[in-house]
């Protein structure tokens, strides 16, 4: 499981980044803008110099289900290559997931080229994957955004669209953060306080 304080650290990072980007604390965040703010380059396979048409076809059509995104360390900068053939909400979550790895400080994949020209990628371990998944969720939908969605009684499908995430991601965040309980408790309290 996560180390103590990890989840609140994620919430803080999410709010802090919004502040730096002049966004409301509960506002939707765009993965591409976030990457730009952090100085991380984002490419699609079409941006890879010298990649031949056959490779492109494989990455974006024939075998496009086999990968989501990958982070590479190019010189001093991180570079994320995102699978642009996936739905925008999936790209948003994959991109944010990769950014999350970087923010936590996980070492990006090392690319090795074997003598016969095969590319080998190091992958993250399971603990790192869990951490990135949690932080990505907190970046896209921090608790304060979830509470705002509930406070405004937004239809969840509409809210998912507003935040550029899938419906599944939104309901996942609502359930794992326990904001529903927090929200109804706060509502009960304010009713009591106002004597209703």
| Total Cβ atoms within 10 A of residue 58 | 14
| Distances from the Cα of 140 to the Cα of 17, 26, 34, 63, 118, angstroms | 11, 10, 10, 28, 35
Q: Does 95 bind Zn ion (CB under 5 A)?
A: no
Minimum distance, C-beta of residue 127 to Zn ion, in the bound complex (Å):
11
Q: Which is nearer to Zn ion, 102 or 177 (CB)?
A: 102
By CB under 5 A, the residues from 113 to 152 that bind Zn ion are 129, 132
In angstroms, what is the minimal distance from the CB of 125 to Zn ion? Answer: 10
Taking the complex as a whole, the smallest distance from the CB of residue 132 to Zn ion amounts, in Å, to: 5
C-beta of 25 vs 129, nearer to Zn ion? 129
| Residue 174 found at the interface with Zn ion (CB under 5 A) | no
By CB under 5 A, tell whether 99 contacts Zn ion: no
Tokens representing residue 195 in the block: 């004597």
Note whether 103 binds Zn ion by CB under 5 A: no
Closer Cβ to Zn ion, 149 or 165, answer by number = 165
> CA–CA separation, 60 vs 146, rounded Å?
33
Q: Nearest to residue 109, comparing CAs of 156, 74, 144?
A: 74
Describe the crossing of helices 167-177 and 179-193 by its angle, rounded to 10 degrees: 60
Helix (H, G, I), strand (E, B) or coil at 74: strand
80 interacts with Zn ion by CB under 5 A: no
By CB under 5 A, is residue 70 in contact with Zn ion? no
Residue 72 pairs in a beta bridge with: 79, 109
List interacting residues with Zn ion (CB under 5 A).
129, 132
């Amino acid at each position: 499981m996560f180390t103590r304080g990890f989840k609140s650290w994620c919430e803080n990072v999410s709010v802090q980044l919004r502040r730096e980007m002049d966004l409301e604390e509960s506002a939707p965040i765009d993965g591409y803008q976030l990457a730009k703010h952090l100085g991380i380059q984002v490419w699609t396979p079409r941006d890879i110099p010298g990649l031949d048409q056959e490779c492109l076809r494989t990455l974006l059509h024939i075998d496009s289900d086999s990968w989501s995104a990958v982070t590479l360390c190019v010189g001093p900068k991180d570079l994320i290559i995102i699978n642009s053939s996936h739905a925008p909400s999936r790209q948003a979550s994959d991109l944010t997931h990769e950014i999350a790895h970087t923010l936590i400080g996980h070492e990006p994949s090392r690319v090795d080229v074997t003598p016969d020209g095969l590319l080998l990628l190091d992958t993250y371990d399971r603990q790192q994957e869990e951490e990135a998944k949690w932080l990505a969720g907190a970046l896209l939908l921090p608790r304060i955004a979830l509470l705002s969605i509930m406070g405004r009684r937004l239809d969840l499908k509409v809210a998912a669209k507003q935040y550029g995430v899938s419906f599944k991601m939104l309901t996942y965040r609502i359930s794992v953060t326990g904001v529903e309980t927090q929200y109804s408790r706060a509502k009960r309290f304010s009713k009591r306080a106002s004597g209703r």
